[in-house]
Amino acid sequence: MRPHQHRAGLSRREVLQAGYSGLLGVGLPAITSGRAQAAPAATPSRSPKSLIIVFLTGAASHHDTFDMKLDAPAEIRGEFKPIATAIPGYSICEHLPQLAARANKYAVIRTLSHEDNNHLMSTHHVLTGEKQPGGFFDKVASRDDWPCYSGALAFLRQRDDGLPSGVNLPTYLREGPLTWPGQHAGFLGANYDPWQITGDPNKTDFRVDALTLAAGIDVVHLGRRQMLLQEVNRQQSQFAEVAQSLRLQKDQKLAFNMLSSSRLGQAFELHREPDGVRDRYGRTTDGQSLLTARRLIEAGVPIVQVNIGRVQNWDNHGDIFPTLKNRLLPPLDQGVSALLDDFDSRGLLNDTMIMMLGEFGRTPKINAQRGRDHWGPCFFGLFAGAGVQGGQVIGRSDVTGAYPATRAFSPNDVAATVYHLLGLPAEVEVTDRLGRRVRLNKGDVIESLFNGTSV
């Protein structure tokens, strides 16, 4: 007796052997937590902008980069010399010459501030705009956390065009048993997590597995796989009322749309860029990751986070000056400068904000290991694009760089500014894991970024 053939051309036995979870031959995040929730439609309060977060994981020293204390004692001032920038009277570190020449394109806030000195809690605060619920020293990520910016955007403005609302690359912030909070959609659930891309775009074998078809499958044949999905889903209709099954079908549809979207797939194909462009960004992990971020924004991904280095990359408790001079600052200077130039020349800077910051600052006094320790009360952020008025320095820290001498801005204020640019109303509410309606953000938009008033 001839085996029963499905319309997709496979026998029932082959269908069972294939397995329901691997039909597309791609890997997508498991939907393992959070209740199914209907996201409210968020009406943009303004024309939505995009966002690139250049995250200095581990926290860069403000004293040795953008808030140098030239008149302080040597144990605070440090070893680096200042150089003039395009902003009259404002100097930054000598090892950031390209960014110094482009200071007219960005604004620097020198009075970001919060109360934490712990990497994990501070990262959550900076990347979500809220303190970590129930936070304590080294509290790892959980589904009780606040949502990251792209998670909130994905929840409030859902899309089905095959493009994620957020992509994080090229590293995942995890060390041993510690997974950094602030990288996920938190209590909104895994459905709204950003894509986590781990791989070095500077390597010739760089590939994104979630966008790579299984061996022997191409986009032409993918349609046949979709027919198979439809057939299996039809025969498994008795499970249609099970919420997890419904989410799986949604995930399958998203996977098909992603794989069929040449825009997204091509964004990761850096070989399409002229060699001169790649060289301007720098043939480094930092440079090529920032170039990938530009390509993702052009493809339609609204939020891209580029983690500059491995977790705690900028956590320089010892030998801070040779580490900054020889390893950290040169590729950052080249890559971010190229990003600013590229966005400006392509007309993208008006619609995308680029923000560079870490989770806190570093201590004013250099320690016995010739490094600086954790310091939350005062740190810097660099902001450009999306209406930000370049060529200005906002705020002033005290003579040692320990505390803000003028108005302090919290991560909540940074988040309010981000959501304002994304077109999400300030009063928007979401539902937490306990079913409570909570306001997404309680900060204030940093208006001085846009109107040029000094504070």
- Domain around 227: 209-267
Other C-beta atoms lying within 10 Å of the C-beta of residue 53: 23
| Token output for 271 | 């070989």
Q: Is 248 in contact with 190 (CB distance < 8 Å)?
A: no
Averaged pLDDT, 59-77: 97
* pLDDT over 90 percentage in the chain: 71
Nearest CA-CA partner of 150 in 304, 352, 258:
304
Last residue of a domain, one of 267, 298, 315: 267
What are the tens digits of pLDDT across the range 324-352?
A: 999 999 999 999 999 999 999 999 999 99
Whether residues 75 and 187 share a domain: the answer is yes
What are the tens digits of pLDDT across the range 190-220?
A: 999 999 999 999 999 898 865 665 566 565 6
Whether residues 300 and 163 share a domain: the answer is yes
Q: How confident is the model at residue 265 (pLDDT cuts 50, 70, 90)?
A: confident
Whether residues 109 and 229 share a domain: the answer is no
| Token output for 370 | 């010739």
Whether residues 154 and 244 share a domain: the answer is no
Nearest CA-CA partner of 320 in 83, 111, 84, 95:
95
219 belongs to a structural domain:
yes
86 belongs to a structural domain:
yes
Whether residues 108 and 201 share a domain: the answer is yes
For residue 149, the 8-state DSSP code is: H
Q: Is 153 in contact with 165 (CB distance < 8 Å)?
A: yes
Whether residues 298 and 345 share a domain: the answer is yes
Helices (H), 174-319: 219-235, 243-260, 262-267, 275-281, 285-299
Whether residues 223 and 202 share a domain: the answer is no
Which pLDDT score is estimated for 17? 32
Q: What are phi and psi of 269, to 5 degrees?
A: -95, 80
Residue recorded with tokens 């004013």: 364
Report the relative pairing of strands 91-93 and 374-375 from DSSP bridges. unpaired
Whether residues 198 and 334 share a domain: the answer is yes
Count of structural domains, the chain: 2
27 belongs to a structural domain:
no
Whether residues 204 and 215 share a domain: the answer is no
Measure the N-to-C terminal CA separation of the chain; round to a whole number of Å: 83
9 belongs to a structural domain:
no
Which pLDDT score is estimated for 263? 77
Which amino acid, residue 232? V
Q: Is 450 in contact with 387 (CB distance < 8 Å)?
A: yes
What are the tens digits of pLDDT across the range 402-449?
A: 999 999 999 999 999 999 999 999 889 999 888 999 999 999 999 999
Q: Is the pLDDT of residue 19 over 80?
A: no
CA distance 161 to 186: 23
User: What is the DSSP annotation of 172-222?
Assistant: --EETTEE-TTSS-GGG-GGGPPEE--S-TTSTT---GGGPPPTT--HHHH
Whether residues 297 and 430 share a domain: the answer is yes
16 belongs to a structural domain:
no
Whether residues 252 and 306 share a domain: the answer is no
pTM: 0.85
For residue 69, the domain's CATH number is 3.40.720.10
Half-sphere exposure in the Cβ direction for 95 (13 Å, CA):
18
Whether residues 238 and 151 share a domain: the answer is no
| Token output for 429 | 């509410």
167 belongs to a structural domain:
yes
**Cis, bond preceding 331 (omega within 30 deg of 0):** no
